[in-house]
Amino acid sequence: MATTLHEPPQIDLNNISGVGNGGSINIPTDGGLRATLDHSRPTSSSAIWVAMFAICMMFAAFTSALIVRKGSSMDWQSFALPSILYFNTFLLLVSSVALEIARRRVDVFMKGARSGAERPTLWLYITLALGLLFVAGQYIAWTQLRAEGMYLATNPSSSFFYVLTATHALHVLGGLGGLLYVVYKLSNLTLRRNAMVSTARYWHFMGALWVYLMLLLWIKL
């Protein structure tokens, strides 16, 4: 049998890009800004999905822990979620919308000539602000609970509340970091579409995750 089962691929030296993006040479293949093409690191579009999967697993573990722990003994005392959480949820969802608008603008901006069109950083800043507000809101929620005497160790229900919300808040902060990175890259015209897209995906994911957590806490606490 012949060992070379595949035809040797045609080499088109004008447009080499690997199956992924191994070969980045001086032709726009990743849809980035022209200024970024030289010395650009290969991009990975699947990384963000991998990261989100890992985060899902982590919260799945917390969820199962919560369910098992609640079932394991009678000491579970439910409490009403601080109402500010609903407002925070609203903030996070709005921020997602803002980011989506920002992403579209950036897209247009990247496709069009750089000269002229002003940079769509405004919507990114709005998203950032909303995100920060969300984290602040979460902090307020914690202080409110503490005021009610619900501390981390008071009861398994409160323990899980703090653990879940804090872990989520940390990941949101990570998203904010990503946004800052995007803003910075955009400011010196070295933003690559992949960075923008991945950040957006992550941010929407954070929103979705939070909605899930709200439902979980609302049902289980």
Q: Kindly list the residues in this chain that would bind other proteins in the complex (CB under 8 A).
A: 1-6, 8-9, 11, 13, 16-26, 38-47, 50-51, 53-55, 57-58, 60-62, 64-65, 68-69, 72-76, 152-153, 156, 159, 163, 167
Taking CA atoms, 97 is separated from 22, 94, 131, 185, 191, in Å, by 33, 5, 12, 21, 21
Nearer to other proteins, 57 or 117 (CB): 57
Nearer to other proteins, 121 or 159 (CB): 159
Q: Is the dihedral of CA 203, 206, 208, 211 positive or negative?
A: negative
Least distance from other proteins to the Cβ atom of residue 66, Å: 10
- DSSP helix/strand/coil, 21: coil
Least distance from other proteins to the Cβ atom of residue 127, Å: 23
Please, where are the H alpha helices in 112-192? 121-147, 156-187
Least distance from other proteins to the Cβ atom of residue 159, Å: 4
Q: Which helix (H) or strand (E) holds 58?
A: helix 47-72
Least distance from other proteins to the Cβ atom of residue 5, Å: 7
Taking CA atoms, 187 is separated from 29, 61, 119, in Å, by 22, 39, 8
Nearer to other proteins, 46 or 115 (CB): 46
Nearer to other proteins, 78 or 117 (CB): 78
Nearer to other proteins, 27 or 117 (CB): 27
Least distance from other proteins to the Cβ atom of residue 204, Å: 19
Q: Give the distance, in angstroms, between the CA of residue 145 and the centroid of all CA atoms in the same chain.
A: 27
